[in-house]
Amino acid sequence: MDRASEQAERNSSASVLVKKYFCKMKGGRCRDLPGLSWTGLLVTAFGSLAGLGLICLLSAYYRLPLLLPSFGATAVLLYASCHVPMAQPRNVIGGHLISALAGVSSFHLLGGSWWVIAIGVTAAILAMTVTRTLHPPGGATAFVAVYNGQGFGFILSPVGIGIICLVVIAVLVNNLSSERKYPDYWF
């Protein structure tokens, strides 16, 4: 084979790979979105109000307003899509506690620089993945731990207390509806 034809073959295979890569991003239509009922919406609203009301109280008590976004995201999972794996108690509790530990440890080992936040959140992601407790809002908990320079007490209070409260409320409220069963599993 001559040099020109070899080059043409390489270019052709490269363009096929690029085309395949971009075709993966095309996506499709989601056909399995759950239906919404008035009962389900009321349970979602009641759970969210009760859970986040308590979290807002904790946030004010501990003077940690940045804790609200991670727990707010958890509330979306617990009260609006309680059937997904990342909303199960193992993931919610484990994800936040492991992330808090990763964030606090990163801060105490490396300080509070901007790059330590990236290390703390990355450590949280890796630890949640390895322990099979992946819970995306946990990344924000690690962020808060580093950003606010939290001590190890932060892990149990307010994070541990807050997340236990959210899960207990989710168990009580989600099971009020005949359309829901929560949790699907504990461990």
DSSP string, 81-142: -TTSGGGSHHHHHHHHHHHHHHHHHHHHHH-S-HHHHHHHHHHHHHHHHHHT---THHHHHH
pLDDT-above-90 percentage for the chain: 72
Q: pTM higher than 0.75 for the full model?
A: yes
CB within 8 Å of 26: residues ≥ 6 apart: none
pLDDT in tens, 84-129: 999 999 999 999 999 999 999 999 999 999 999 999 999 999 999 9
Q: Which has the higher per-residue pLDDT, 35 or 41?
A: 41
Burial of 150 (0-12, 13-18, 19+ CB in 10 A): buried
In this prediction, residues 135-158 reach a mean pLDDT of 97
Provide the mean pLDDT of the chain.
91
Q: Which among 74, 79, 77, 83 is positioned nearest to 32, based on CA atoms?
A: 83
State how far the Cα of 100 lies from the Cα of 98, in Å rounded to an integer: 5
pLDDT in tens, 36-76: 789 889 999 999 999 999 999 999 999 988 888 999 999 99
Q: How many CA atoms lie within 13 A of 19 on its CB side?
A: 6
State how far the Cα of 159 lies from the Cα of 99, in Å rounded to an integer: 10
Q: Which has the higher per-residue pLDDT, 185 or 12?
A: 185
Neighbours of 65 (CB within 10 A): 12
Residue 20 — very low, low, confident or very high, per pLDDT cuts 50/70/90? confident
Q: Which amino acid, residue 113?
A: S
